[in-house]
Amino acid sequence: MPDVAGLAPRPIVWVAAAIAAGLSAFVVTTTIRDSQTRTATAVALTGGDPARAPALFRRYGCSGCHIIPGIPGADGQTGAPLTGLSKRVFIAGVLENRSDNLVAWIVSPQSFSPQTAMPNTGISEQEAKDLAAYLYTH
Q: How far is CA 100 from CA 44, 70, 105, 130, in A?
A: 12, 23, 9, 12
Distance CA(86)–CA(109), nearest Å, equals 18
Question: Could you tell me the CATH superfamily of domain 4-137?
Answer: Cytochrome c-like domain (1.10.760.10)
Residue 3 pLDDT exceeds 70: no
pLDDT at 95: 94
More confident of the two residues 10 and 52: 52
The residue-averaged pLDDT of 45-72 equals 96
Region of residue 10 (phi > 0: left; psi between -120 and 50: alpha; otherwise: beta): beta
pLDDT, tens only, 75-108: 999 999 999 999 999 999 999 999 999 999 999 9
Query: Structural domain boundaries of the chain?
Result: 4-137
pLDDT at 96: 94
pLDDT at 36: 84
The amino acid present at 35, given as its one-letter code, is: S
